[in-house]
Amino acid sequence: MRLVIVEDDVTFANAIGAAISRNANFEVDNLHATTLNEASNLIVKTNMKYNSDNSIDVILLDLNLPDSQGLDTFIDVRNISSGIPIIVLTGRDDEQLAISAMQQGAQDYLVKGDINGRTLSRAISYAIERAKILAEREDFVATLTHDLKGPLQGANRILELLVTGALGPLSNDQSELLRRLTDSNTTLLEMISNLLEVYRYDKDLHTISFEHTNLVHLVQKCMHEVEHLAEDLSIEIKSEIFSYEEIAIMADASSIARVVRNLLDNALKFTPRGGMVTIGLTCRQEKVRLAVTDTGPGISDEDRRYLFERFYRGATGRGYSRSTGLGLYLCKQIVQHHNGTITFDPNSGRGSSFVLEFPRI
């Protein structure tokens, strides 16, 4: 078993390694890092050496390191560890922090003063088995989610035939009700697609086909797709695109369209009636900048720290029943695979503003 111990106290780290080796019923290869930066490099190099994202079995992680403190340490390690189970090492005064880490995906936590070889070995075995069960559950959910797409798509095709009158005339009220049902199904399909895309990115099963993509046309198409929803909510969508011809990047057009639609959907979701959603597109030297801004309630300082985390829903989002907490996480995954960045702009004034930047052709 290959174990990474991330602990700045070298003496304590050596004691942990020795205790595991003495008490474990398996052979142990202990690797040690004293900082977050060292841990990141060690994990990447080990995976490259053994040509696998699963070359490390468990990470034992102290949250308070010289170059990183608290929950941010766990989130950074989790994001580079590709599903490797993490056991948090904590002091007696930091148990609540360790519980928060478990809520964010840690498999277990151990209080340093209570650690011995036997409890460590048991915790490691438990963490590995639990990680396997969670992976199997994710595979099942992904399969089930994929199977749900077909019936919904079929239902939508029938609804569209009814709405357009292809199957016979309808009254205006009937057409409106069917259109709303179609919109509801479309929302469900979008949520299902988000779940599947997150699964593919997490499992490195995504396929991206880069091609010359005109963002002007792509953004205009996305805006057109949500126009009727904005009208229903009495929200104005304002375009600030300062080129009506072409602003191009190399991208998978369908993936970037998903990002733009997610951002527009969020903006409409949290903007009150009579508000405004603005989408801007500009060129800045070697970068293309796309911003989606709304006049909603904004995002608290606490929520901003975890905006792009998997399944995280802020205080405002928790009141919205159809939110899965995956939209922004998926946006970040897609944007990063395009060598771009996505950030929340805290200087936008009232409301929320999300900014994308991509390398320009």
pLDDT per residue as tens digits for the range 239-250: 998 766 789 999
pLDDT per residue as tens digits for the range 160-189: 888 888 878 888 888 888 888 887 787 787
| Helices 327-337 and 172-202, packing angle to 10 deg | 60
pLDDT exceeds 80 at position 215: yes
pLDDT of amino acid 321 = 43
Return the CATH fold of 2-132: Rossmann fold (3.40.50)
**Other Cβ atoms within 10 Å of 179 Cβ, number:** 16
Q: What is the rounded CA–CA span in Å between residue 312 and residue 321?
A: 14
CB 20 within 8 A of CB 37: no
pLDDT of amino acid 324 = 59
pLDDT of amino acid 216 = 93
pLDDT of amino acid 137 = 72
Q: What is the rounded CA–CA span in Å between residue 7 and residue 316?
A: 37
pLDDT of amino acid 205 = 58
Q: Where do the structural domains in the chain lie, given as residue ranges?
A: 2-132, 135-202, 211-359
Which helix (H) or strand (E) segment is 281 a member of? strand 276-284
| Strands lying side by side in the sheet with 236-241 | 236-241, 276-284, 287-294, 353-359, 341-344
Q: What is the rounded CA–CA span in Å between residue 222 and residue 293?
A: 15
Q: How far is CA 326 from CA 100, 112, 287, 329, in A?
A: 19, 34, 27, 5
Q: Rank 10-24, 51-65, 196-210, 262-276 by mean pLDDT and report only the highest.
A: 262-276
User: Is the entire prediction scored with pTM above 0.85?
Assistant: no
pLDDT exceeds 80 at position 353: yes
Q: Which has more confidence, 274 or 164?
A: 274
Return the CATH fold of 211-359: Heat Shock Protein 90 (3.30.565)
pLDDT exceeds 50 at position 314: yes
Average pLDDT, integer, range 6-24: 87
